[in-house]
Amino acid sequence: MKSDRDKTTVTLEDLLRLKRAERPAPGFWPEFDRELRAKQLAALVVERPWWRTFPARAIAGVARYHLPMGASAILALTFLSVREYQTALPEAGLATPVLEFSTQPNLESAGGNVIEIASASDAAPDVRPVAAAAERSGLAIGEASAREEIRSVSAMAALIGGTEDSGATFRPPARSTSENFSAVQEIEALFGNRTLLAAASQGFESRVLPARQPVVDPLAQMKPPSDVRRARFMGTAFSTVASVKPVATRNSERLASRIADQRLYEAGVSRLGLGGDRLMVKF
Amino acid sequence: MDATKVIGKTLVASPERAQEADADVEIVRLVQAGDVAAFDRLILKYRERVLGIVYHLTSNREDAADLTQDTFIKAFQSINRFGGQSSFFTWLYRIAVNTALSHLRKHRLRSFFSLEMMDTDQPVSREIIAALTDTSGAERDTYARELQEKLNEAMQKLSTKHRTVVTLFEIEGLSHQEIAEIMDSSVGTVRSRLHYAKQLLQAELQPYLRR
């Protein structure tokens, strides 16, 4: 080669032949074989098309976020519940004074029955007509009707007193019950109807303060055995029927009054029996 | 069909190549029958030549290693489609050239050299370098390194087709017909590309040529 030609002659082919002398480093081939083996093994695994692997991958992707999604849902639910509860609290706080306020004018508008409110704390049988009147007038009356009542009473007071400002003394009892009570007393003085205002004042105490049990002779509380038996047999029927409709209550009372004590006693005796230390009742 | 165009036909230049091609076909039949380990023999036989082709086309040793591995993986995956119309090495070279050219097309703007060390102790390279310079020792190695960079720069200035022809003919020593078969073109086209590429390289490397 070199000896065959002139020493100074170097052709393009000679230069290109120099590139054959470029060799990789000594440790190249072991690394090359190792990487090639890994790629060859990976190539042996047949890759499935994407439309077959997509559902499994999508499910796996969603499954990875199950726990965070559940926790987020619970947090969101809790947040909404607390928020609803907080917005409902002020409404519930307003509902109580409206109910108290609406009760008072309705009692006044009930006429002669208002007097019976005063005796309601003393005598239990007199409560029924008052409760019926209250139910008729509507205990669940809204705030609008309560304000209408205030306006009518204040107008009456203005007519009698000759001033427009007297109506301003009426305020909802939620703010200050004592102020309203004093206002009612002023109206009482203007009206001259002491019976109405006295009844209102007595009713107020019974409503505001807890009812105190009157001192009663224990012997007076005892009832005859016939009354006890009749109450036992008819108690369940009365409680369910009387609580729903007043008419049904009247019918039950009428039915109960027709049953003679003697008949009840005989029926009770025939159905009762003693066996050892047991009391047997037949139905 | 063009008379000079040879496609789908085994071109064997010498009896040694004919024996080599027959041996390759037998190994390929084994691989096609399911003997995966037989493919390792083909890898061992052709890995240096395939690496050389890819390296001279890319002038980057890291890319050359990856592309050579990809070449063998592609050959392994499509070995069942090899019907024996051409020799195995021609078929494998075609895969290597196409893989390298595809890589060059994708990374046209990101090309930088990462050259292998030139073995200046080889007789051929030692004589050539000695003819080019009278220096010795460290200066001689520095000169060889500079010459190597200039050669690669000149090669990268060629188009991919011209570079491929020069690489396969001048460096790998394939015939025109083999190159035509690998590049899926005619022998005349190969000759013409080779002539044009040499003119460009001569202009680039004129300071290093001595007449």
**Splitting chain A (283 residues) into consecutive groups of 10 residues, what average pLDDT does each group show?**
52 80 83 88 74 79 79 91 78 48 45 42 46 49 57 59 47 62 75 58 62 72 72 66 54 62 62 71 69
Helix (H) or strand (E) holding A23: strand A22-23
Both A105 and A198 in one domain: the answer is yes
Both A192 and A276 in one domain: the answer is no
Give me the mean pLDDT over the B71-83 stretch: 91
pLDDT of residue B168: 92
Both A105 and A191 in one domain: the answer is yes
Both A189 and A235 in one domain: the answer is no
The answer to whether residue B188 scores a pLDDT higher than 90 is yes
Residue of A8, A13, A15 to mutate when probing chain B, most B C-beta within 10 A = A15
Residue A59 lies in a domain: no
The single-letter DSSP state of residue B167 is I
Both A133 and A230 in one domain: the answer is no
pLDDT of residue A18: 79
Give me the mean pLDDT over the B134-150 stretch: 76
Give me the mean pLDDT over the B61-88 stretch: 90
Residue A182 lies in a domain: yes
Per residue in A171-180, pLDDT tens?
455 556 777 7
Of the pLDDT bands very low, low, confident and very high (cuts 50, 70, 90), residue B20 is confident
Amino acid (one-letter) located at B25: V
Question: Which three-class secondary structure state does DSSP give residue A267?
Answer: helix
Both A240 and A203 in one domain: the answer is no
Contact A39 B128 (CB under 8 A): no
Give me the mean pLDDT over the B7-21 stretch: 60
pLDDT of residue B101: 92
Of the pLDDT bands very low, low, confident and very high (cuts 50, 70, 90), residue B185 is very high
The answer to whether residue B99 scores a pLDDT higher than 90 is yes
Chosen domain end from A166, A182, A208: A208
Residue A54 lies in a domain: no
Both A204 and A229 in one domain: the answer is no
- Residues in A touching B124 (Cβ below 8 Å): 1, 17-18, 20-21
Both A101 and A190 in one domain: the answer is yes
Residue A175 belongs to what domain range?
A: 96-208
Residue whose structure tokens are 């051409």: B86
Identify the CA nearest to B201 among candidates A13, A130, A87.
A13
Per residue in A206-216, pLDDT tens?
666 666 677 77
Residue of B42, B134, B162, B170 to mutate when probing chain A, most A C-beta within 10 A = B170
- Residues in A touching B198 (Cβ below 8 Å): 12
Cβ atoms within 10 Å of B105's Cβ, excluding its own? 9
B131 vs A8, A29, A40: nearest CB: A8
**In the beta sheet, which residues pair with residue B32?**
none
List all residues of chain B from 77 to 106 with a beta carbon under 8 Å from chain A.
77
The answer to whether residue B87 scores a pLDDT higher than 80 is yes
- The complex's ipTM? 0.77
Contact B47 A32 (CB under 8 A): yes
**In the beta sheet, which residues pair with residue B153?**
none
Amino acid (one-letter) located at B19: Q
Residue A185 lies in a domain: yes
A16 vs B51, B115, B166: nearest CB: B166
Chain A nearest C-alpha distance from B196 (Å): 13
Q: Residues B70, B102: contact at Cβ < 8 Å?
A: no
Both A203 and A277 in one domain: the answer is no
Cβ burial A47-82 (10 Å sphere, 16+ → b, else e): eeeeeeeeeeeeeeeeeeeeeeeeeeeeeeeeeeee
Both A100 and A164 in one domain: the answer is yes
The single-letter DSSP state of residue A167 is G
Residue A32 lies in a domain: no
B117 has a chain A CB within 8 A of its CB:
yes
Residue A75 lies in a domain: no
Residue of A28, A36, A44 to mutate when probing chain B, most B C-beta within 10 A = A36
Report which of residues B192 and A244 the model is more confident about: B192
- Residues in B touching A25 (Cβ below 8 Å): 116-117
Q: Which of A46-50, A278-282, B18-22, B64-68 has the highest mean pLDDT?
A: B64-68
Both A184 and A240 in one domain: the answer is no
Question: Which three-class secondary structure state does DSSP give residue A278?
Answer: strand
In order of their start, the domains of chain B are 11-115 (1.10.1740.10)
**In the beta sheet, which residues pair with residue B173?**
none
Q: Residues A20, B123: contact at Cβ < 8 Å?
A: no
Give this prediction's pTM: 0.48
Residue A100 lies in a domain: yes
Per residue in B32-51, pLDDT tens?
998 888 999 999 999 999 99
Provide the domain count of chain A.
2
Chain A nearest C-alpha distance from B9 (Å): 29
Residue A11 lies in a domain: no
| Long-range contacts of residues B33-38, Cβ cutoff 8 Å, at least 24 apart | B36/A44
Chosen domain end from A208, A234, A258: A208
Both A113 and A195 in one domain: the answer is yes
Contact A18 B128 (CB under 8 A): yes
Question: CB-hemisphere CA count at 13 Å for A84?
Answer: 6
